[in-house]
């Protein structure tokens, strides 16, 4: 969703802002703008459309400036238009905003703004209120403080003033801002990706602190302006560079191909002597032994990772586990107490639904662990404990390596719990986890056969509807596979527990409806295969992803459109199968000529409820 960038230093701000806005494109947006400060005041350039359109607009007549702010907007209040794009300028103030101001209508009334507003946004109202206070007090921090006290909602606000040509101010509530300094320059952004290789050291602006960026330094004070606050810097070992797609046509393909390495990097730091180990995170064993139920909260792909964990927790730990859409969690009156371990899963660490659910769970006494990819993100900060996936930056909107690294951490947690609860001996734990250490190698075998999957993908290129069927863990895998296909190919696709077909859905199966079946679970494969037969007999063409050791049992006349997945223990077959389904979705989207990395209507970081 919306992205923010700010720069003040010795270099040309326009180029830095435009380049950084490009790095923010992956979040999803529909308009973009920048504001530049110079001795004459603040100059705003903004436009509905892509950053490339903004570049065109800024080609000529833009003053030299070393201080500015920029924004990519994902419309919430007001349609997609030049006027609604950020930055919003009112009097002496220009600002960009992420989040939602819930009481903007009250503010319009309170400050008599009705006749002054030219856009339909909540943001312009904030700019007008801030200008009102700035005119009164002529002190940026004090004007921001007074404005913030008027606001209800979530916000990351980044402001420049037309008489402060080398200064940027910011403040936030929930919506994140990361900041850094390098060689006398200051950069800030809504997420670390936009810092784009300038540095791999940054800090997250603490909530309700006012940051003043001037003279190459950032100073932080609490909202009352009474206390200085020390920034807590984080260093990441990601390559925050601009190398981009590394020769691949899309980030999605690059990120699918990176999975073996990402999983190895995620698993290795959490293994000691063949056993899972979270001492580096400071997670006490009591958090695992002291709980009598587990609850996973997450959205989208991260929630699908939770569903795989649900199967493992139930079958191995024999414990009660709920997996909830974070957006539904607090409205479902969940049972929570100090014996509940809540696991919040999120790639970005900023998904507002997950963050709100986590806050709710903690306020009801639950203990929490977050599985997060982005260091220092809100969910990471607000959870009792955090385990980071080392997937590196995930830019494509469709989540791939985040999912499989989340799964890796979940396997490690289940193994740790099984060991601590005495369900597994150390030897059994080692045997279980030896499957996990084999995953990178097994995944490579699937990735090496991507051309085969590309061929298979052509079979569903022109389909209007696709069904994906399987049972048990295979069904969980397909929920994720079907989300992938939907979001990047725009083909309507549903995952069904295949035993359920005959209770209604099979009415939709015709020759026009390709069916993707995943068969990897030895215990239930005979039943899965008979469900495949049911759809074949109704004319459906079937694409079959089958585990190698089961493949010989597929009759010869049903071997067309079959992809053989390398063998792993059943509980781990989710890994090779998911990679195959990711590639399937990817190739369909690519062959349809879509912008694979930026599917329509979607945003990478979802910061509105």
Nearer to ligand M6R, 121 or 348 (CB): 348
Q: Which of 2, 58, 295, 493 is catalytic?
A: 2
Minimum distance, C-beta of residue 594 to ligand M6R, in the bound complex (Å):
14
Minimum distance, C-beta of residue 413 to ligand M6R, in the bound complex (Å):
17
The two structure tokens encoding residue 565 = 């997945």
Nearer to ligand M6R, 250 or 424 (CB): 250
Nearer to ligand M6R, 220 or 407 (CB): 407
Nearer to ligand M6R, 349 or 566 (CB): 349
Q: Which residue is nearest to ligand M6R (CB)?
A: 300
Phi, psi of 281 (to 5 degrees): -85, -5
How far apart CA 560 and CA 375 sit, in angstroms, is 45
Taking alpha carbons only, the member of 215, 141, 211 closest to residue 179 is 211
The two structure tokens encoding residue 512 = 């026009």
Q: Please classify residue 206 by burial: count the beta carbons closer than 10 Å to its beta carbon, then call 0-12 exposed, 13-18 middle and 19+ buried.
A: middle
Minimum distance, C-beta of residue 140 to ligand M6R, in the bound complex (Å):
33
Q: How far apart are the first and last CA of the chain?
A: 12
Minimum distance, C-beta of residue 496 to ligand M6R, in the bound complex (Å):
19
Sign of CA dihedral 57, 58, 61, 63: positive
Sign of CA dihedral 283, 289, 292, 294: positive
The DSSP result for 481-510, as a single string, is: HHHHHHHHH--EEEEEEGGGGGGTGGGG--
- Is 94 within 8 Å of 127 (Cβ atoms)? yes
Q: Which residues pair with 101 in a beta bridge?
A: 153
Minimum distance, C-beta of residue 25 to ligand M6R, in the bound complex (Å):
15
Minimum distance, C-beta of residue 406 to ligand M6R, in the bound complex (Å):
8
Nearer to ligand M6R, 516 or 519 (CB): 516
Minimum distance, C-beta of residue 484 to ligand M6R, in the bound complex (Å):
6
Nearer to ligand M6R, 20 or 347 (CB): 347
Q: Which residues bind ligand M6R (CB under 6 A)?
A: 299-302, 346-348, 351, 354, 397-399, 483, 487, 602, 606
Provide the 8-state DSSP code for 316. Answer: I
Nearer to ligand M6R, 143 or 398 (CB): 398
Whether 2 sits among the annotated catalytic residues: the reply is: yes
**How far from the centroid of its chain's Cα atoms is residue 231's Cα?**
25
Nearer to ligand M6R, 296 or 540 (CB): 296
Q: Which of 459, 484, 547, 604 is catalytic?
A: 604
How far apart CA 6 and CA 33 sit, in angstroms, is 12
Taking alpha carbons only, the member of 159, 595, 403, 61 closest to residue 147 is 159
Whether 265 sits among the annotated catalytic residues: the reply is: no
Minimum distance, C-beta of residue 360 to ligand M6R, in the bound complex (Å):
16
Q: How many CA atoms lie within 13 A of 370 on its CB side?
A: 29
How far apart CA 34 and CA 14 sit, in angstroms, is 8
How far apart CA 110 and CA 30 sit, in angstroms, is 31
Q: How many CA atoms lie within 13 A of 205 on its CB side?
A: 36
Q: How far is CA 563 from CA 245, 405, 595, in A?
A: 27, 23, 26
- Is 605 within 8 Å of 24 (Cβ atoms)? no
Active site positions, annotated = 2, 604
């Amino acid at each position: 969703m919306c992205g923010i960038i700010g720069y003040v230093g010795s270099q040309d701000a326009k180029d830095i802002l435009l380049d950084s806005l490009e790095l923010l494109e992956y979040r999803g947006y529909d308009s973009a703008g920048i504001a530049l400060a110079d001795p004459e005041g603040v100059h705003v350039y903004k436009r509905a459309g892509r950053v490339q359109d903004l570049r065109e607009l800024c080609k000529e007549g833009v003053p030299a400036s070393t201080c500015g702010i920029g924004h990519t907007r994902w419309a919430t209040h007001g349609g997609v238009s030049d006027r609604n794009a950020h930055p919003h300028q009112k009097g002496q103030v220009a600002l960009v905003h992420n989040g939602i101001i819930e009481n903007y209508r009250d503010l319009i009334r309170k400050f008599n703004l009705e006749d002054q507003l030219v856009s339909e946004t909540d943001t312009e109202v904030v700019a007008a209120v801030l200008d009102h206070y700035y005119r009164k007090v002529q002190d940026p921090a004090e004007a921001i403080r007074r404005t913030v006290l008027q606001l209800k909602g979530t916000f990351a606000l980044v402001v420049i003033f037309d008489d402060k040509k080398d200064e940027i101010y910011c403040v936030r509530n929930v919506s994140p801002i990361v900041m850094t300094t390098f060689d006398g320059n200051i950069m800030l952004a809504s997420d670390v990706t936009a810092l784009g290789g300038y540095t791999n050291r940054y800090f997250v602006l603490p909530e309700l602190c006012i940051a003043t960026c001037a003279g190459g330094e950032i100073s932080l004070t609490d909202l009352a302006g009474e206390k200085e606050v020390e920034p807590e810097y984080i260093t990441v070992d990601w390559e925050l560079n601009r190398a981009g797609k590394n020769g691949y046509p899309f980030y999605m393909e690059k990120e699918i191909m990176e999975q073996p390495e990402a999983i190895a990097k995620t698993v290795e730091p959490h293994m000691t002597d063949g056993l899972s180990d979270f001492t580096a995170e400071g997670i006490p064993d009591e958090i695992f032994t002291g709980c009598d139920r587990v609850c996973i909260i997450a959205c989208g792909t991260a929630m699908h990772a939770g569903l795989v964990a649900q199967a493992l927790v139930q079958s191995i730990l024999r414990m009660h586990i709920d997996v909830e859409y974070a957006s539904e969690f607090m409205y479902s009156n969940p049972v929570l107490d100090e014996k509940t371990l809540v696991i919040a899963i999120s790639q970005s660490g900023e998904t507002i639904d997950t963050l709100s659910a986590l806050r709710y769970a903690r306020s009801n006494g639950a203990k929490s662990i977050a599985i997060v990819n982005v260091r220092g993100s809100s969910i990471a900060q607000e959870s009792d404990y955090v385990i980071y996936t080392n997937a590196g930056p995930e830019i494509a909107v469709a989540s791939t390596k985040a999912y499989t690294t989340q799964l890796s951490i979940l396997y490690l947690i289940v193994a740790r719990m099984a060991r601590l609860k005495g369900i597994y001996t150390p030897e059994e734990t080692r045997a279980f986890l030896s499957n996990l250490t084999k995953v990178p190698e097994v995944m490579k075998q699937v990735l090496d056969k991507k051309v085969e999957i590309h061929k298979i993908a052509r079979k569903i290129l022109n389909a209007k509807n696709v069904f994906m069927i399987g049972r048990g863990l295979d069904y969980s895998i397909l929920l994720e596979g079907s989300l992938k296909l939907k979001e990047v190919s725009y083909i309507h696709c549903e995952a069904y527990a295949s035993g359920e077909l005959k209770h209604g859905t099979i009415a939709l199966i015709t020759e026009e409806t390709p069916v993707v079946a995943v068969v990897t679970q030895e215990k239930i494969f005979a039943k899965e295969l008979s469900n495949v037969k049911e759809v074949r007999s109704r004319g459906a063409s079937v694409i079959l992803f089958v585990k190698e050791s089961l493949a010989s049992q597929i009759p010869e006349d049903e071997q067309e459109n079959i992809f053989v997945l390398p063998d792993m223990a059943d509980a781990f077959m989710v890994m090779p199968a998911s990679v195959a389904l990711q590639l399937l979705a990817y190739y369909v989207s690519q062959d349809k000529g879509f912008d694979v990395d930026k599917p329509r209507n979607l945003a990478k970081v979802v910061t509105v409820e």
